[in-house]
Amino acid sequence: MYPAVVRQFRFAFPLMLLAAPAFADAPAKIQYVGSVSINPCQEAKVLAEWYSRLGIETKEMQGGYYAMLDTASGPFFFGIHPHKASAPQKCTGGVSVVYRVENIEASLSAAKTKGLAPDSTEKDEQGQFAHFHDPDGNEVTLWGK
């Protein structure tokens, strides 16, 4: 009879072959949610004052209000962008979630193979950002270097 290790391998090996194609197309691993960004319908200062009541103290920079919180997974950024004149008078808000990725190029390549293309991309001293919208219109951003 087969030793136990050989028997286990004999049954596990076909499963590994079936799983290999799924891992080949897997996107790069998301490390953590890197930030929450709010595009306000009113003046940014109004929201900054409200969030300060929750304990999120922001600093004003170029018309927006921003904070960095240290977490076990890494820095968490919070931003209330400057109010845009084109923003609706009344809205439900525009919150977007930014996912920090290990490798932005690998993540974009994986998304492309699944039929997803970013609406826009940008690059600055913090890294590269790829902006998408989900089927409901929510903004989802991948951020990496």
Residue 65 within a domain: yes
The CATH number covering residue 37 comes to 3.10.180.10
The Cα–Cα gap between 68 and 39 comes to 17
Check whether 55 has a pLDDT greater than 80.
no
Q: Residue 66 has what pLDDT? A: 95
Tell me the per-residue pLDDT of 20-50, one tens digit each, with 9 for 90 and over.
Answer: 454 455 567 888 888 888 888 788 898 888 8
Residue 42 within a domain: yes
Residue 103 within a domain: yes
Domain that holds residue 54: 25-144
| Backbone phi and psi for residue 100, each to the nearest 5 degrees, phi listed first | -80, 130
Residue 69 within a domain: yes
Q: Residue 94 has what pLDDT? A: 62
Residue 8 within a domain: no
Tell me the per-residue pLDDT of 86-107, one tens digit each, with 9 for 90 and over.
Answer: 877 766 656 677 888 889 999 9
Report which of residues 7 and 85 the model is more confident about: 85
Domain count, the chain: 1
Q: Which two tokens stand for residue 4?
A: 């136990």
Quick one: what percent of the chain has pLDDT higher than 70?
74
